[in-house]
């Protein structure tokens, strides 16, 4: 069973290369596309102040972070938690860039050497919704994910929202669950048929079937006193049969 970790960070600014640091990391675990409750969350002392613009985004004061652990103190816990998992991140290059820089300061390998792979939900959204806004808030609105509690950015809350967004973005149906009744032990009454390898044909209605359909429309229209709501283009055939 594949293990997925939805990850988000908050930072002192926008440029890891210019010395900005991670101040918060939040992760939620998915197993079989369901939240397990096995989350990871740290506030981190960045050893520098946040930029004013960044403070407006996350609202985490410099004073609040003074007594929090430094990244070096929590790095092993973070890497153990992430090890071997698929990471799901919105605008992955940003968060991975900051994590790689923190690991570089400690003389550790880059994040990619600890995890299975990284999936960028921003890239997925741009492919699905080209030309549209694809921020986390925009995707929550588009996909019906409740983000009413998100007045400021927070890594754990944003990771939880992104998990919901990811599930909605990847909800394509590739299999049918076929009910076989209550045969066998509990949980054995259904089997999954994989349809991904089949090219299912499209069968058009025959002339006889179209004529039969028109007769049914006519009967319904007549019974309703001409109050049916289907397009007027269908009415002549219906009236002719009536």
The enclosing domain of 59 has a CATH number of: 3.30.420.10
Residue 31: pLDDT above 50? yes
If asked whether residues 106 and 219 sit together in one domain, one would say: no
Which positions are annotated as active-site residues? 153
If asked whether residues 165 and 213 sit together in one domain, one would say: no
The secondary structure of 110-127, three-state, reads CHHHCCCEEEEHHHHHHH
Backbone angles phi, psi at 187, to 5 degrees: 90, -5
In a domain, 27, yes or no: yes
Confidence of residue 233 (pLDDT cuts 50, 70, 90): low
In a domain, 83, yes or no: yes
If asked whether residues 116 and 218 sit together in one domain, one would say: no
Residue 234: pLDDT above 80? no
- Note whether 39 and 30 are within 8 A (CB): no
If asked whether residues 114 and 224 sit together in one domain, one would say: no
Q: Domain count of the chain?
A: 2
- Residue where a domain stops, chosen among 116, 142, 169: 169
If asked whether residues 31 and 81 sit together in one domain, one would say: yes
Q: What is the mean pLDDT of the chain?
A: 85
Confidence of residue 238 (pLDDT cuts 50, 70, 90): very low
pLDDT of 73-126, one tens digit each?
A: 999 999 999 999 999 999 999 999 999 999 999 999 999 999 999 999 999 999
Residue 151: pLDDT above 70? no
If asked whether residues 126 and 21 sit together in one domain, one would say: yes
* Model confidence, pTM: 0.69
pLDDT of 165-220, one tens digit each?
A: 999 999 864 444 444 444 444 445 555 555 555 666 778 888 888 888 888 888 88
If asked whether residues 153 and 96 sit together in one domain, one would say: yes
In a domain, 94, yes or no: yes
- Residue where a domain stops, chosen among 169, 198, 219: 169
pLDDT score recorded for residue 102: 98
If asked whether residues 150 and 36 sit together in one domain, one would say: yes
pLDDT score recorded for residue 203: 80
Give me 158's structure tokens: 């944003």
> In which domain, by residue range, is 135 found?
3-169
Residue 21: pLDDT above 60? yes
- Residue where a domain stops, chosen among 141, 169, 197: 169
Orientation angle between helical segments 136-143 and 155-169, nearest 10 degrees: 50
- Note whether 217 and 239 are within 8 A (CB): no
pLDDT score recorded for residue 182: 46
If asked whether residues 16 and 119 sit together in one domain, one would say: yes
If asked whether residues 221 and 161 sit together in one domain, one would say: no
In a domain, 48, yes or no: yes
CA–CA separation, 232 and 241 (whole Å): 15
pLDDT score recorded for residue 87: 98
In a domain, 130, yes or no: yes
Q: Looking at the chain, how many residues does it have?
A: 242
Residue 53: pLDDT above 60? yes
In the chain, % of residues over pLDDT 90? 65
Query: Between 238 and 149, where is the model more confident?
Result: 149
If asked whether residues 131 and 214 sit together in one domain, one would say: no
Mean pLDDT over 119-147 rounds to 95
């Amino acid at each position: 069973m594949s293990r997925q970790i939805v990850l988000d960070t908050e930072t002192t600014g926008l440029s890891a290369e210019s010395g900005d640091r991670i101040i918060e990391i939040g992760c939620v675990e998915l197993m079989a596309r369901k939240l397990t409750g096995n989350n990871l969350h740290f506030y981190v002392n960045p050893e520098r102040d946040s930029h004013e613009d960044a403070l407006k985004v996350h609202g985490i004061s410099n004073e609040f972070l003074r007594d929090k652990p430094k990244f070096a103190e929590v790095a092993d816990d973070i890497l153990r938690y992430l090890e071997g998992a698929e990471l799901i991140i919105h605008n992955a290059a940003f968060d991975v860039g900051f994590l790689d820089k923190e690991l570089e300061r400690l003389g550790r390998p880059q994040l990619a050497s600890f995890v299975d792979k990284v999936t960028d939900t921003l890239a997925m959204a741009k492919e699905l919704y080209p030309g549209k806004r694809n921020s986390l808030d925009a995707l929550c609105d588009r996909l019906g994910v409740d983000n009413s509690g998100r007045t400021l950015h927070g890594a754990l809350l944003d990771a939880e929202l992104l998990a919901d967004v990811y599930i909605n973005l990847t909800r394509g149906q590739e299999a049918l669950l076929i009910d076989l009744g209550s045969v066998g032990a509990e949980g054995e009454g259904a089997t999954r048929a994989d349809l991904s390898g089949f090219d299912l044909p499209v069968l058009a209605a025959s002339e006889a079937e179209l004529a039969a359909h028109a007769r049914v429309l006519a009967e319904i229209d007549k019974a309703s006193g001409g109050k049916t709501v289907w397009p007027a283009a269908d009415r002549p055939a219906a009236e002719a049969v009536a």
